[in-house]
Amino acid sequence: MIKIWLDDRRPAPNGWISCRWPEEVIEHLKTGKVEEISLDHDLDDLHVVGQGYCPSIKERTGYDVLIWIEEQVITGGFVPPKIRIHTANFSARKKMLAAVASIEKHSK
């Protein structure tokens, strides 16, 4: 069993696999071998085109992982790992914790 750390800046704790993007975490989750995840929200995904910001490209965040997990729990009977949130973004933390509560509610 493995533990996954999603963060673009902070190093993973000893014994955790470091991922930078939500897609990486989801690929690990699909294996069924993940026992725990810890998620940051803001992943420094700047979407720069040339010298400017491109608002038409969707920002990728740790919340994307939670959306995927919730969908899999509700539609496919996915058994979620233990979920931790380590983001420093206060408003995103509230949204992410609400998603975790929904995941827990639907996985029982």
pLDDT tens track for 44-101? 755 444 445 555 456 789 999 999 999 999 998 899 999 999 999 999 999 999 999 9
Distance CA 30, CA 52 (A): 35
Total domains in the fold of the chain: 1
Residue showing tokens 């929200």: 41
CATH code for the domain in which residue 27 is found: 3.40.50
pTM of the entire predicted model: 0.87
Q: Is the pLDDT of residue 43 over 50?
A: yes
Please report the pLDDT score of residue 59 as a whole number.
Answer: 77
Please report the pLDDT score of residue 21 as a whole number.
Answer: 92
Domain residue limits at 15: 2-106
Q: Is 29 helix (H, G, I), strand (E, B) or coil?
A: helix
Helix (H) or strand (E) holding 103: helix 90-106
Nearest to 70 by CA among 104, 42, 40, 97: 104
Q: Is the pLDDT of residue 25 over 70?
A: yes
